[in-house]
Structure 1
Amino acid sequence: MVVVVSAAAAEEEEEDVTVREFDGASDHDRAAVERLERACEVGPSAGKLCLFTDLLGDPLCRVRHSPAFLMLVAESGAGGEVVGVVRGCVKTVACGRRGRDDELELFSKVGYLLGLRVSPAHRRRGVARALVARMEEWFRQAGAEYAYVATDRANEPSVRLFTSRCGYAKFRAPSVLAHPVFRHDLAPPRRAAVVRLCPRDAELLYRARFAGVEFFPRDIDAVLRNPLSLGTFLAVPDARAWPGGGGAGAEPFLASPPASWAVCSVWNCKDAFRLEVRGAPRLWRAAARASRAADRALSPWLARVPSVPDLFRPFGIHFLYGLGGAGPDAPRLATALCRHAHNAARRAGARVVATELAACDPLRAGVPHWARLGAEDLWCIKRLADGYGDGALGDWTKAPPGASIFVDPREF
């Protein structure tokens, strides 16, 4: 598919670009996208750290695990240089509950925009808008009712692009909570047991307790069975609170759960892409090296030295998705899950464990994290057409936020 767009920007001269589908079999396209990615630092600026993303030679790795996906590139009219790229996927997600007792789970088909990059020399010339417009056209053709995108709240040009020029509305403001992986294991909280669930039990639990959470993917079974999903783990006050052993499955737990519990799954981003911190002052690098040296020297006696792994070279992360639970002790049980995930990440060679939670999610209090490593996201949403009818949902763009949000690891 090819479409020629004359993309105009209010501040600068317009630029003629050709927007077409990325050709994964073309060495030219792969090399051009790789150069473009390397030219674009991702993350907040203005004195803060920036992250560079290395896609490990697979430009489609961020979307290829979704049910339907597309990658577009923009070529400059003068010479055919690739000056922009965007990825998108379409899936069906939960958009809330309705009914007298919230018994009706509502789903909507949505398109997700990610990986939008424009060459620094071609910014503010309408290239990004041309890419977004063409991707939205594909969303509509695929039957999507809404499009949404996640950006950093501190990235003002990106926020202006979507809210002022592309018609998106600010929707949700989750936070990425990240924690470095130390050289030593972290001790679990007392009175907490972590049980590994098989994919069937994990699916039953998620569908029974999370199917009404915003952005919960209807194809959760495909997510849980993906090779990058490293397992689902349930934290309970005592191992006896999980009656699913011996082939009983999740049904007894769902019929009579303990007063408090927490669950999460782990996604191996390390085998999909690598990150690298750029722009850190020499003092920060020296402090990180000193913390690792202290950890090596003192860890036999002080097992909790907060060492900083080497994040100034490419590193991998493990992402915790589906983090949720119930009961007054759920935050502490979430801590047990995070520490369990930390220890597994250390053995696997990942240097950061991260998750993303809604602003008012009560489990945030139990997630250990370093503010410097995280980010404050802004999710923007757009209704693609008025012809679908409001039905039981109404206009999702105007719905108030819930206590939690489900972050699909295929889009992280």
Structure 2
Amino acid sequence: MEEEGVVVVVREFNPEKDCSEVEKIDNNCDVGPSGKISIFTDLLGDPICRIRHSPAYLMLVAVMAKDEEEREIVGVIRGCIKTVTCGKKLSRNGKNNGGNDSLKPFPVYSKLAYVLGLRVSPSHRRMGIGLKLVCRMEGWFREKGAEYSYMATERDNEASLKLFTERCGYAEFRNPSILVHPVFAHKVSISNRVRIFELSPFDAESLYRHRFSTTEFFPRDIDSILHNRLNLGTFIAVPSSGYLESWPGVDHFLLNPPESWAVLSIWNSKEVFTVELRGASFALRGLAKTTRLVDKAFPWLRIPSVPELFRPFGFHFLYGLGGEGPNAEKMLKALCGFAHNLAKEKECGVVATEVSTREPLKEGIPYWKKFSCEEDLWCMKRLGEDYSDGSVGDWTKSPAGSSIFVDPREI
């Protein structure tokens, strides 16, 4: 409830005037449970950098004004809109060898909005400011034709859940896992039974569209992501024996894939914001420091020492993870090792990814449970009529699939 004589106005973010105040709110608001990733600090004083790579985005601030001269930013919210896969349909695809029409899955797209970075100054909570920001943002979503809106939070964030599910009409939708692995002082050894190729953005796009376009949340503008300067590359792992020594091109690969293979892309989140672990116990801090000291004294032991994660650090985000075949998990593990070594060269603190809890290749992703969140919570709301062809119906009520595609622009 607003204080008497105080007016809260929601307006669009002004980068020339609002940066320092918004950055202060971001730094004062923890966004994770104690002992885990708890705060994001935008680099270069650019609070809008987390969404500017999306096709359409907006940032709003809540300004409290007691009189003409006394004004203070007390809340902020970010939102973006994109078109993603919400399901799939089967369509005729010519004649097969038996003379019958074959069916091929095709993606069904929906215009989806994402709410992120909702922050209200700790001294101004329980005044309806968060609700006002969400309602204003949803109004913009509807103006742009978004059919659904979703947000992500921790299951134990009672205040956020109450706001979105009880007051804003969102429903629990998916429970992906955020998996985090520290970057050690030593490189990870990669099996010589695995060969890793880097794909061009064009080959990567073709592979993703052919193999993963029906995956839930797959972005229709995947080409924009793969050509973005923050994308460090797409890498594919195949068996070193029985396959070509050089990349044969995506067309040859799609026609003659090896028995097992895996793929992932790497996003340079370090250039967008830094992360800091807060709330860690003295015991955990001491253990981490001890591993570093012992590793420094006995480097030949190659001890997996924990890097300094209790001050701001950068990280790489792995996305587009997938693959096929009986050894796909081993291929993915090799790719994660490759990503770890690249992050070490770039002086990152961790590598992270987010996948469905039911992801078939999850066991191939190394992570530390202490720094991870194995059950994140996504909530979704239907904003209006579903403009798809009716193959999906109400997406908010659809069952979860085995995989999801996590857009790195929203991390």
Distance 1:409 1:50 in 2: 17
Q: Could you say which residue in structure 2 is the equivalent of 1:184?
A: 186
CA contact (8 A) 1:170 1:379 kept: yes
> Larger deviation: 146-155 or 202-211?
146-155
CA positional deviation for 1:381: 0.7
CA positional deviation for 1:113: 0.6
Q: Could you say which residue in structure 1 is the equivalent of 2:290?
A: 290
Distance 1:389 1:410 in 2: 24
Distance 1:17 1:89 in 2: 23
2:200 counterpart of 1:211: no
CA positional deviation for 1:80: 2.5
2:137 counterpart of 1:135: yes
Q: CA RMSD in A?
A: 1.9
CA positional deviation for 1:240: 5.5
Please show how residues 141-290 of structure 1 align to structure 2 within 5 Å.
141-238=143-240, 241=243, 245=247, 248-290=248-290
Q: Could you say which residue in structure 1 is the equivalent of 2:349?
A: 351
CA contact (8 A) 1:360 1:404 kept: yes
Distance 1:106 1:230 in 2: 29
CA contact (8 A) 1:13 1:125 kept: no
Q: Could you say which residue in structure 2 is the equivalent of 1:401?
A: 400
Q: Could you say which residue in structure 2 is the equivalent of 1:3?
A: none
**1:120 maps to which of 113, 117, 122:** 122
CA positional deviation for 1:236: 0.9
Distance 1:168 1:214, change over 3 A: same
Letter in 2 for 1:204: S
Distance 2:282 2:183 in 1: 21
Distance 2:288 2:6 in 1: 44
Distance 1:15 1:203 in 2: 52
Distance 1:322 1:234, change over 3 A: same
Distance 1:339 1:71 in 2: 37
Distance 1:94 1:176, change over 3 A: same
- What's the CA shift string for 1:105-158, capped at 9, x where partnerless? 101111111011011111122111111111111111111100011111221221
CA positional deviation for 1:170: 0.6
Please show how residues 22-101 of structure 1 align to structure 2 within 5 Å.
22-26=13-17, 29-45=18-34, 48-56=35-43, 57-78=45-66, 79-99=70-90, 101=103
Distance 1:81 1:41, change over 3 A: same
Distance 2:54 2:346 in 1: 25
What secondary structure sits across from 1:103 in the alignment?
A: strand
What secondary structure sits across from 1:401 in the alignment?
A: coil
The alignment-based identity, stated in percent, is 53
Q: Normalised by the size of structure 1, how large is the TM-score?
A: 0.92
Q: Normalised by the size of structure 2, how large is the TM-score?
A: 0.92
2:343 counterpart of 1:331: no
- What's the CA shift string for 1:305-356, capped at 9, x where partnerless? 1210000111000000101111121111110010000001001111100010
CA positional deviation for 1:388: 4.1
CA contact (8 A) 1:244 1:251 kept: no
> Larger deviation: 49-58 or 256-265?
49-58
Distance 2:378 2:6 in 1: 28
Return 5+ residue gaps in structure 1 as ranges. Answer: 1-7
Return 5+ residue gaps in structure 2 as ranges. Answer: 92-102
CA contact (8 A) 2:81 2:111 kept: yes
Letter in 2 for 1:65: H
